[in-house]
Structure 1
């Protein structure tokens, strides 16, 4: 089975639908699916339906260089204070920043962007 983007618009939301081929040879169309609203159709089987659109979450991996005492701009502050100040000034709403102690391999502090939801898991 092969799935590709098509030029055919979705009848529910007008977003381009995906075409689903039965074989890798792309000779027989099995059905159509809209990735935007969940509309599904199969002309061969005469089926037309909509399914609940799955929630999609995208995660951004951001790797920063290590922070040390030499990186602290205010000589009276600590690495933790510098981390928090940088997070307040530079962190995007969809990011999560972790301050990890490299010697003990443990999380010292974490900052969540405004769009990040906390979870118990």
Structure 2
């Protein structure tokens, strides 16, 4: 780890919108031939990030979890227009297995 003094002129503080967090809860595979399972949640209206971490800890049941902070960026569309784009920064935790790939499969109940 390395630390350097931060520039006090950098913009730090409140944004116009409340923070939005993404929590990934990892659960071990049900069998050796299966992959880890991940359950993703969007968490809003938290007073502090510690509330989100406490909630995730209780939901994870001792399994690994990750907490991300959503922030808004933009990208340029094919026709040259700027479009909003949500990005996520990992702020706490770790995935189930560090050197792995993730495949997302969506299930919807009827």
Question: Shorter-normalised TM-score: what interval?
Answer: 0.3 to 0.5
The structure with the largest alpha-carbon Rg is: 1
Q: TM-score of the superposition, structure 2-length normalised?
A: 0.36
Higher relative contact order (CA 8 A, sep 6+): 2
Q: TM-score of the superposition, structure 1-length normalised?
A: 0.33
